[in-house]
Each structure stands twice: as C-alpha cells, then as structure tokens.
Structure 1
Amino acid sequence: MSKETDRRLLLIGQEDNCLIVCAPLAAGETVLVEGQSVTLPHAIAIGHKLARSALHTGDKVVRYGAIIGSATRPIAQGEHIHTHNLASDYLPTYTLEEGQSYVHH
C-alpha cells in the first residue's frame, strides 16, 4: 500500500501525527494522506493541521516533535485539527497577582 501524501501537506518529524497545510485547501477538494484519499468538507488555511492518522479522544497531538494538545473527540485521518477538536496542553509559565494587568503605564 502506498504511503504517498499530497505535496501540499508537510510532515516535519516522523513522530508527528499531524501534517502542516502548506497551500490553501478548498472545501470539496480531495487530498492524499498516507496513501488514503480524503475529501475535505471545509476549506483549510495555510499553517493549519491535518490528522496524519486517526486519533481517539484523549490522544496527544504531536507537531514538530512536541505534544501540543489532546484530541477532545475522535479525529479521522485527514481531518482538520484545530480548536474545535483540540485542547491545548500548554501551561502558563507565569501568573498575575490580583489587580495586575498586562498594560504598562
């Protein structure tokens, strides 16, 4: 079976389970993901992510070799990965004291 992937989808690291969109993809367009044809229900912008393989709820999403979040629901191979199905695993490295703000006076 062919593992060919559309050249508009970029795999950064072999451990990544998502691909980066390198050119705008239109709704209704069919792309090849690891040898599987996937028809996109929605347009996907440059820089967004597609699932390299199917993910289950709670699976970690790995991009650039680092965990970036957890799937909040099942994600099919070739499906758009974004805030509608991904919860960030980033933790803040700072806290603001009560009454502080980001604005400097």
Structure 2
Amino acid sequence: MIHFVLHDATDSVAVVVVEGVQAGQTLNGWVMDEDRFVEVVAEQDIPIGHKVALRDHAVGELAIKYGISIGKVVAPIRKGQHAHVHNIKTTRW
C-alpha cells in the first residue's frame, strides 16, 4: 500500500494519500520522478492531504515539495512528523 507520494526526489515533505495514518505506523511512499519507493515511520497522526516530513527541518529552512519551496519552517519538524500550516508558513508575505 502507498501511504504518501512525492513528485521529486529532492522533496523534503510528501503528501499523505490515505486516511488513518497513526503515530508509529511505517509508511510507504512513492517517488514519482524516479519510480521508486521509500519508507518513513510516522511520528504523529497525519490527516489525508496533509504532509509528512521526509527529513528533519530546522527553523528557517525551506520545505520542498514538487522540487520547489512551499514555505519556511517556523517550528522544528522531525522526520515522520506532520508538516502543515502550524510549522510551515508561506514566504510570499
């Protein structure tokens, strides 16, 4: 089963595509541009359509999705944690 999808191998976050992801669960992800699979252990419950961190992120770093920045990290995010608007903010404003 595929639990998350990332479009570009350089992505640092990926979209959860199933319901019911729970902390402690091993997640399988598909790297679309390379047609390969990766695993991450969920550190938190993550809702469908939200993102899982694929690596640790420090405050001030950029979160990468689709191979481009989607925002700046405003609170530390560990690999496997829920990455969303509570810890990533747009760089547009």
- TM-score exceeds 0.5: yes
Partner of 1:11: 6
Question: What corresponds to 1:22 in structure 2?
Answer: 17
The answer for the alignment partner of 1:38 in structure 2 is 42
Q: After TM superposition, give the deviation of residue 39 of structure 1 in Å.
A: 3.9
Aligned residues with identical type, % of pairs: 26
Question: Which one of 55, 58, 61 corresponds to residue 59 of structure 1?
Answer: 61
- Number of aligned positions between the proteins: 84
Please give the alpha-carbon distance, in whole angstroms, between the structure 2 residues aligned to 1:15 and 1:28. 24
Task: Measure how far apart 1:53 and its partner are.
Answer: 0.5
Structure holding more strand per residue = 2
In structure 1, how many angstroms separate the alpha carbons of the residues matched to 2:21 and 2:58?
26
Structure 1 segments unaligned to the other structure (5+ residues): 1-5, 92-105
Q: Please report the RMSD computed on the Cα atoms of aligned residues, expressed in angstroms.
A: 2.1
Of structures 1 and 2, the one with the larger relative CO (CA 8 A, separation 6+) is 2
| Structure 1 range deviating more: 26-35 or 47-56 | 26-35
Ranges of 4+ aligned residues in structure 1 off by more than 6 Å: none
